[in-house]
Amino acid sequence: MYLLDTCVFSEFSKKEPSPRVSSWSESVSQSEIYLSVLVLGELLRGVAKLPEGFRKHELRHWVETLFVSHRSRLVLVETDVIRTWAEITVKAETQGKPAPAMDSLIAASALAHNLTLVTRNTEDFERLGVSLHNPWN
C-alpha cells in the first residue's frame, strides 16, 4: 500500500512523465494507491499560482477529479496522524534536524496508516522513519 507524494502526482501532470515512474505506476493496482489531502492541497496551491488560461483550468479539473477518484483512499489529517506527527517532529528537532511542517505531516500520514511513501525526495523523508520508495530509481 502506497501514499503518493506531491512530486509523483506532479510527474503525472507532465506531457511526458518519467518512463520509470509510469512503469512503476502501471505495475501497481489502483486499490493500493492512497492520496493525502495534504498532497491535494499542495497540488491546488500550485495550480492557483498559475496564470489564468487553458493549462490552469485543465490542471484544476485534473486535481478535482483526484478527490473523486481517490475518495475511498484519501488519507485525512486525523488524530492518529497528529499524534504520529508530534512524535516524529520532536525526534527530528531533538536530533537538530527539524522537518518542514508539510513534509512531516505527509510522513506522519504514511506512518499512521502503515503506508510506503512514494517520492523522489527520499533524503527529505529518511530521517522521519517512514518506509520509502523512489520510482525514479
The three cell numbers locating residue 73: 483512499
> 92: domain range?
2-133
- What are the CA-CA distances from residue 39 to residues 18, 19, 20, 34 (Å)? 20, 22, 21, 10
The pLDDT tens digits for 4-26 are 999 998 998 888 999 999 999 99
pLDDT given at position 63: 93
CB atoms inside a 10 Å sphere around CB 73: 16
pLDDT given at position 112: 98
The CATH number of whichever domain residue 113 belongs to comes to 3.40.50.1010
- pLDDT-derived band at 124 (thresholds 50, 70, 90) equals confident
* Cα(44)–Cα(95) distance, integer angstroms: 33
The pLDDT tens digits for 90-106 are 999 999 999 999 999 99
* Residue 43 in this model has a pLDDT that exceeds 90: yes
How many domains does the chain fold into?
Answer: 1
Q: Residue ranges of the alpha helices (H) in 3-127?
A: 6-12, 19-27, 37-49, 54-69, 79-94, 101-112, 122-126
* Cα(134)–Cα(82) distance, integer angstroms: 25
